[in-house]
Structure 1
């Protein structure tokens, strides 16, 4: 074996080791910012008592969090592409922790909007966009899996914190809980971000699903109708999922299962823990599946699964055990959008501007937050029931599943061929 061959093999081994290290650090960064969204439903009751406002008014905070996490992501992605991920992701983790510390002392709804919603949204958005773009470059042949793994950190990170936060709220109150966990989020995320490094400039190996030699800038991508189809589809799925995420506690309380004890635990915290697990597992799972059977085929299976599970969930909502199990299946069919859509986008429009491009697509999550948060609460108040709310969510799931195989699949195939 020649010296040059040995050097090349050594470089390959080092690069393989580095990419898995980057994936692990990205996952930690994601886990440190997951609680502001996924534990929000636990905070609504103490915040309503403190601020003396109605639920739709309070839910604007949740919408602001998602809006500022998503609608500024194109700018955040452009800055990260230009100046590097490490610095900006570190800043994002500190902003996320600071948002909880500031919210701990909020005595008005407006200060909560600013601190929890705006500051928290900015912080989580920087980290999310930066980490996804980072791993898309490090894993050109496993984009679905890699995007799913770091997205799992965002979905599953709250598994670690859901029960401790619930217990802390009961024993120590709102202020101390937000301060202690805010400090913890900032420290974990900051130290993990220090190890992030830029990916080597390598072109992906040609395959049936990856584009090569085709790197669209955001301005060129935005002119193509195929991007807007992906945007619409992700907005539909975001709306459906966020309807459930933001209203889960109210739904459980209304149907009388939130405090029912199952296996020694109250049904609501147990359901939320299972939801975090399935919401995290589905991202690398369906991402890995999509690397093998295709993005659109996987979308159809996953979105149809959520529609079926949500229908059964609504039908058997008064059974505590089925409530818990089916809520987990619902999240199993939803969380994979955060691996399937970025992988599909980068496959289609190239990896050179992956962070900036995904920043534009990620805005669809903000559209979903507007519909899935306060409007879902208003729909419930108007109709005095959960059937209309869930019917809308189920309809969106079915529509998006059909769009994936009927419209997106043949259209993207023609696009890649030409």
Structure 2
């Protein structure tokens, strides 16, 4: 008969081995819900032609998708914690796929808003927040890497579907494309979700590689702490900074004269967008892994300064097509890591028990960033008739947030952990 310590060690070994299977299943779920956001631009023309709406009216759908995904994330996180990871992630993947099927039959803008925007936003939000919350529990010693890996799945997943969807639109039309890919992506997500489960707490708690354990803090108590709101402000500033530039890229590329030039035998703008998507995905696990070894705040300071410098160089060499393409990738390499650094830092600070719901509240910062980064940047450009003020705000936010991470967040978190360590 095995002794209790030996049995516990065996359980721990099995848990630590199976968590890589959990990461794989979570990655597939994230890839399955990435297309509604990242290939949306392919549908705007056909939808405008079918429904008779202007581009601005059609784009309301995308705004609804992002707003529902982010602003309802605390509720979605609570549902995951309350009813179980497998059931809720399956529901989220199903809703995401169903949104495309319903959108294929939409005959009015209202129906498009409700299907693609509302149903799709709720579904993708459940999956995104739920998977990130699950991974930071499964990987207490590698939270940055795990959160970054699944976030990369969301950032890069649409690379698998972009060309097939584009070809399908040309060959079978928008309605059939939405129906086929909605059903296929929903089914893939549903199947992958059946392999998900919560980690056995007792087994993972014995992992000696975990640097520290903290008292689990419920959302109500977390929202009363200055430490949370500091992270929220920092996340909002970084989200705004990145989206100020990335959401306006096609517009300022045109003003910089980059839409009609060739780089390495390809059109500069599509090439830049392709490189950007790759870098935006790779940076999430990369800087997450660095933060696991070098510290969250140190990595934040490095990454945010890196992006600010890259943006400065990008603006100063905007008349050089080769540098425009290459530096756009460097900018994305310095921005996408916020989706691994902030959730891992939050869980390190406030514990794992309420990790999903807690991250849901922090993730609302992304929604605020999307509002300021899109319309506000466009208005700033319209008012000043220059892109320099837009870049100046973005660069300033990068450098301010880097300073806050190193000089303020680092000190406050150290004090918090000293008081609340187990």
Q: Does TM, scored on the shorter chain, surpass 0.5?
A: yes
Q: Which residue of 2 aligns with 1:179?
A: 179
* 1:81 corresponds to 2:68: no
Q: Which residue of 1 aligns with 2:398?
A: 397
* Mapped contact 2:141–2:210 kept (Cα < 8 A): no
* 1:135 corresponds to 2:135: yes
Q: Which residue of 2 aligns with 1:310?
A: 311
Q: Which residue of 2 aligns with 1:211?
A: 213
Gaps of 5+ in 2: none
Distance 1:182 1:369, change over 3 A: same
> How far apart, in 2, do the equivalents of 1:362 and 1:394 lie?
22
* Mapped contact 1:25–1:192 kept (Cα < 8 A): yes
How far 1:306 sits from its partner (Å)? 1.3
How far 1:305 sits from its partner (Å)? 1.3
Q: Which residue of 2 aligns with 1:97?
A: 97
Cα distance per residue 1:36-87 (max 9 Å; x no partner): 2233344445555555666555444333222111111111111111211111
1:109-188 map, 5 Å: 109-169=109-169, 173-188=173-188
> How far apart, in 2, do the equivalents of 1:296 and 1:4 lie?
39
1:360-371 map, 5 Å: 360-371=361-372
1:262-277 map, 5 Å: 262-277=263-278
1:345-364 map, 5 Å: 345-364=346-365
Q: Any idea what SS the aligned residue of 1:258 has? A: coil
Cα distance per residue 1:379-408 (max 9 Å; x no partner): 334444433333222222122111111211
Q: Which residue of 1 aligns with 2:71?
A: 71
* 1:20 corresponds to 2:20: yes
Q: Which residue of 1 aligns with 2:239?
A: 238
Q: Any idea what SS the aligned residue of 1:216 has? A: coil
What is the aligned length? Answer: 417
TM-score by length of 1: 0.91
* Mapped contact 2:73–2:363 kept (Cα < 8 A): yes
Q: Which residue of 2 aligns with 1:223?
A: 224
* Mapped contact 2:12–2:206 kept (Cα < 8 A): no
Moved more, 195-204 or 150-159: 195-204
Q: Any idea what SS the aligned residue of 2:201 has? A: coil
Q: Which residue of 2 aligns with 1:201?
A: 201
> How far apart, in 2, do the equivalents of 1:206 and 1:370 lie?
43
> How far apart, in 1, do the equivalents of 2:201 and 2:73 lie?
23
Distance 1:177 1:316, change over 3 A: farther
> How far apart, in 1, do the equivalents of 2:218 and 2:234 lie?
21
Distance 1:5 1:233, change over 3 A: closer
Distance 1:187 1:146, change over 3 A: same
Q: Any idea what SS the aligned residue of 1:373 has? A: helix
> How far apart, in 1, do the equivalents of 2:101 and 2:321 lie?
35
How far 1:378 sits from its partner (Å)? 3.4
* Mapped contact 1:41–1:248 kept (Cα < 8 A): no
Gaps of 5+ in 1: none
1:324-343 map, 5 Å: 324-343=325-344
Aligned residues: CA RMSD:
2.6
Distance 1:141 1:204, change over 3 A: farther
Distance 1:27 1:259, change over 3 A: farther
How far 1:207 sits from its partner (Å)? 7.4
